[in-house]
Every structure is written in C-alpha cells, then in structure tokens.
Amino acid sequence: MLYRMPYPTRNDNYSRSGVMLIALAMSAMAGLINSVIFVAFGLPVSQMTGVATHISDSIYAWQGLDLIQATGILLAFIFGAFVSGWLIGHADYFEDKSYGLALLTNAGVLFLAALMSFFEPIAAVWITAMACGLQNAMVASYKGLQIRTTHVTGIATDIGVFLAQRFKHKRRLPWQALLLATLLTGFILGGLIGLLLWPHTELYALILPAFLNLGLGLHYFWYLSRRASQ
C-alpha cells in the first residue's frame, strides 16, 4: 500500500496557489511568534513537544515557577484549539463566516498579547500560546487539509516519506511535497523575521502577525460577500 497524505487530490476544485499562500503566511506567523517568545523566555509556544519536556524537567527538579509557566503554555494552547473548534465547529471546509471569525479572533488575541507584554510578560506568553493553538486547529481543518502550521516535525517526516517514494519508485514528487516545503520554508523565514525584529521591537513584534490575521480575516469576509452577490 502506498503511503497516502491527507492532502487534496488533482480533482479538487480550489486553487493550489491559494493554499500555498495561506500555508506560507500561516507558517511564517507561527515561526515569528515562536522565535520571539523563545528569545524572550527560552520556551516555545507554537509546538508542545518541548513544552511537555520542560514540564517533565520542572517536576523532576521541582522548579515550581518553571512548572507553572510551562503548564500554562500547554493549557493555553489547548484552550486556543478549543476556541477554534467552537468557532468553526466542523472538520470539513465550508465557505462560511466561521473561518473569518477565527482569523479576527486570533488577531485580537495577538494584539492582547502584545499589550500584555508591557504589563505582565508571562501572561503575554500564555496568550500567545493560545493564539498558536487557535491557528493550528483552524488551519488543520481548512478545506479538509489536516495540515499543521505551527510546528514542523510532521512536515519534516512527510517530506522524508515523499523523498523515499521518489527514489524507491522513481515517481515524480507530487504537488503536496511542494506544499510541505512551503510550510517548512515559511516557518524558517518567519523565525528569521522575528529574530531580526526582536532587537528593535521585542514582544511588540507580535503586532505584525496580529495585523496579518486581521487582514486575512477582513479579506475572507470580503470574499464571502463578493461570492454571495454573484
């Protein structure tokens, strides 16, 4: 049996270039957010593997403050995914207002994180983790793609599998491999942008992905209204 990825097939009726742009933008936002928070606090917020390990280490060393911080990140990420599931409410993609609402909600969450960084930095970290959880769950259900945009472990694994098929069976790499490469590239570029912004903006760099979410959300509602008027 061939290894099958949960990505669209050739007969799907929507633009692959649009999916590529969404993938690039979302993964870049996650990379930026993660790099900024990691520089500031030494903890990731866009993927929970490192956070779970940090929780184990904190329990072993009985470092109470570190345990509270890491557990807060994990719970906030889960809550963000919960909010996304509540807003969208379905696993398959339908062109309804739920995705626009999720994007605007994520924009508000990131604006709040940037604001809270001035008053209570650790609260800003938790709020940022919530934004990552919301984004990850939201994009995972977009058009039924079941992809992840806030971490790259699965992406790197799937790229390896596609390359194995390419060399073992002499098949051309499918367009889904390009999608995975786009996600990986976007995350790396976003992280680089975050590091370049950090000396000048510190946690206020979170305003950039907030505005991007806002723009995407408004554009999505414009698209829905234009489609309804046709």
**Is the per-residue pLDDT at 98 higher than 90?**
no
Q: Has residue 217 been placed in a domain?
A: yes
Average pLDDT for 8-27:
70
Tokens of 186: 């976007």
Q: Has residue 177 been placed in a domain?
A: yes
Q: Has residue 21 been placed in a domain?
A: yes
**Is the per-residue pLDDT at 2 higher than 70?**
no
CA distance 6 to 200: 40
> In the chain, what is the straight-line distance between the N-terminal and C-terminal CA atoms, in Å?
44
Q: Band the pLDDT of 6: cuts 50, 70, 90.
A: very low
Average pLDDT for 3-9:
45
Q: Has residue 7 been placed in a domain?
A: no
* pLDDT tens figures, 99-151: 899 999 999 999 999 999 888 888 999 999 999 999 988 877 655 556 788 88
Do residues 110 and 131 touch, judged by C-beta distance below 8 A?
Answer: yes
Tokens of 95: 């062109």
Tokens of 203: 């946690």
Q: Has residue 4 been placed in a domain?
A: no
pTM score > 0.95 for this model?
A: no
Query: What CATH number corresponds to the domain at position 38?
Result: 1.20.1250
**Is the per-residue pLDDT at 8 higher than 50?**
no
- For 183, counting Cβ atoms within 10 Å of its Cβ (0-12 exposed, 13-18 middle, 19+ buried), the class is buried
Do residues 150 and 95 touch, judged by C-beta distance below 8 A?
Answer: no
Q: Which domain holds residue 28?
A: 16-229
How many structural domains does the chain have? 1
How many residues can be counted in the chain?
230
**pLDDT for 165:** 86
Q: Has residue 10 been placed in a domain?
A: no
Q: Has residue 9 been placed in a domain?
A: no
CA distance 120 to 135: 23
Average pLDDT for 55-82:
94
Helix, strand, coil share (%) of the chain residues, nearest 5: 80, 0, 20
Mean confidence (pLDDT) of the chain: 86
**Is the per-residue pLDDT at 1 higher than 60?**
no
Q: Has residue 6 been placed in a domain?
A: no
**pLDDT for 138:** 85
* pLDDT tens figures, 175-208: 888 888 999 999 999 999 999 999 999 888 999 9
**pLDDT for 11:** 43
